[in-house]
Amino acid sequence: MKRNVIGTLVGFVAASALALAQSTTPPQTPATPQQPAASKDITITGCVTQGSSPTVFVLDNARQKPEDRSEKAASFILVASGEDLNFKTYLNQEVQVTGAPEMKTAPTPPAGQKVAEKDLPKFSAKMVTTVSDRCTSH
């Protein structure tokens, strides 16, 4: 009887140790800081408008596919990326802008109001091309 109890106990301990060894994760190497995923360059079409100061410009009614009326328009704060782009020369013009958008979603404003400029995502522009000498509404 003692042999059966000891044998069962040894078997239980061995099975527990085996199960525990399989369930533990291997030792991990020290964590390295992860860099945020780089934004891919895209081209969007919109209207350049004056922001809250002479050096702030907003791309309003921006769409990747301007011909697609079901695409929701967005607004961005324009920021020159690398080159010295003079957004003032494109003021009140419809333009195509190539660059990288900030991965931030602007909050939904109350009905009849616009999103506050400080809450708009930034668009790092690398290239700007005029589409029309005046803004069109879509």
Q: What is the pTM of this model?
A: 0.67
And the tokens for 65?
């596919």
Question: What ranges do the domains of the chain cover?
Answer: 42-132
CATH 2.40.50 given to domain 42-132? yes
Helix (H) or strand (E) holding 44: strand 42-50
pLDDT digits (tens, 9 = 90+) for 65-104: 988 888 988 999 999 987 678 999 999 999 999 999 998 8
pLDDT digits (tens, 9 = 90+) for 101-137: 998 877 777 787 788 888 999 999 999 999 999 987 6
Q: What phi and psi, each to the nearest 5 degrees, are found at residue 22? A: -75, -30
